[in-house]
Amino acid sequence: MTSDEVSQVSVGQRLGTYELVKPLAQGGMADVFLAKDGEQHVALKILNAQRSMDRESCALFLDEARVVGLLSHKNVASVLGAEVVGGLHYLAMEYVHGADLREILLAASHGNQPIPFAMSLSIVAQAAAGLDHAHRRCDLEGKPLRLVHRDVSLSNIMVGHDGVVKVVDFGIARSTISTVHTSPGIVRGKASYMSPEQCMGDKVDHLTDVFALGIVLYELTTGARCFHGKTDFERMLSVVRGDFISPSDLVSDYPIELEQVVRTALAADPAMRYPSCAAMIEALERVMAGRGWTGGVDTIRNVMHGLFGDVREPWRTADEEVPCTEVHDVISPEAGSASATVTAKLTRPRRFPRGTISEIYDPKDWRADVDEAATRGHRRIRRASSPRLAA
């Protein structure tokens, strides 16, 4: 297939039964459009022209449809179908009306608004529930899929304005039904969210996703990058060495029991991590109960309202009424006691620590970190004999 054989997509174009309404996102592998089929609106993920000429990329794309088609969980964005039309590969996916965690952190940082610990823990717990379902799923013959997402990150966890969290983008997931297998020396994923074994090119299992969830938990609760570096190699080296700043050094009143959850999830030795996402959920629930924090969908919905206000679905016209969101008080992560609250408008200023996401990265420069990348290492990473968990 040549580039001339791959059509350029545009708003108003039809792919199968779907009409493209508006672009939603652009990545290195695929573009995402809002599309409609009659009254139903979906997110249409379309493999871009360059990737469409690569057999492995096409196979990965179709693998995603086959794998996610076997999943059925409220915390996993579902795939409704996959087609190849006129040389274009596309997936029809559930549309999530919300924002990804990267956008949420940026909104909180730019508005000097804190994200309550209760919200952060609730988000990670929901994402963990979706991943736990994926890890335990079997194929149509009842054999374990042994599914590993391998790309859990801020940009691949969506939070709906209704308070429901969805894990998205299983584009580089590994499973027993995958037709594409990673070659020796090839590392897939985002350098800042890989596990040590993933960075080293070793065999990975579901504990790789536990590690990545630990990174997400760290960044949501501190507002700072977990693993730093100017290049992918430097970031991967930080991961392998376990080189990150202790959360309590960034947030003065960071709960010691929550820091222990982070440390356990980020253990360099997979055997020292939580044995499953379900076990990590239990640990988060113990922290919530011990602190008297109220979490769940209502907490997330209220904070989302405080950050973004009432946001109508993109297919609604300006004169259509937006459903009213009831706003309650939510617990602040900086409150001196479990009973202290601030309103969901989150107007109390907070100075984020130096090294926050917004200070390190300009949002315009995030695409390189967000896109799926497959890189071949040119230098061997030396595994630290005694990985340092914190500075």
Q: Which residues are catalytic?
A: 151
37-43 long-range contacts (CB < 8 A, ≥24 apart) are 37/92, 41/95, 41/313, 41/315, 42/18, 42/80, 42/92, 42/93, 42/94, 42/95, 43/77, 43/92, 43/93, 43/94, 43/95, 43/96
User: How far is CA 236 from each of CA 120, 186, 195, 201, 228, rounded to the nearest angstrom?
Assistant: 25, 13, 9, 11, 9
Q: Are the beta carbons of 330 and 316 closer than 8 angstroms?
A: no
Residue 258's φ and ψ, nearest 5 degrees, are -75, -40
Cα radius of gyration (the chain): 21
Cβ neighbors of 265 (< 8 A, separation 6 or more) are 210, 211, 213, 214, 217, 273, 274, 280
Alpha-carbon distance 221 to 219, whole Å? 6
Instruction: Give the pair of three-digit tokens for residue 380.
Output: 């061997």
DSSP three-state, residue 141: coil
Among residues 7, 30, 3, 6, which one has the least CA distance to residue 372?
Answer: 30
Q: Are the beta carbons of 127 and 165 closer than 8 angstroms?
A: yes
Among residues 134, 200, 144, which one has the least CA distance to residue 169?
Answer: 134
Alpha-carbon distance 67 to 63, whole Å? 6
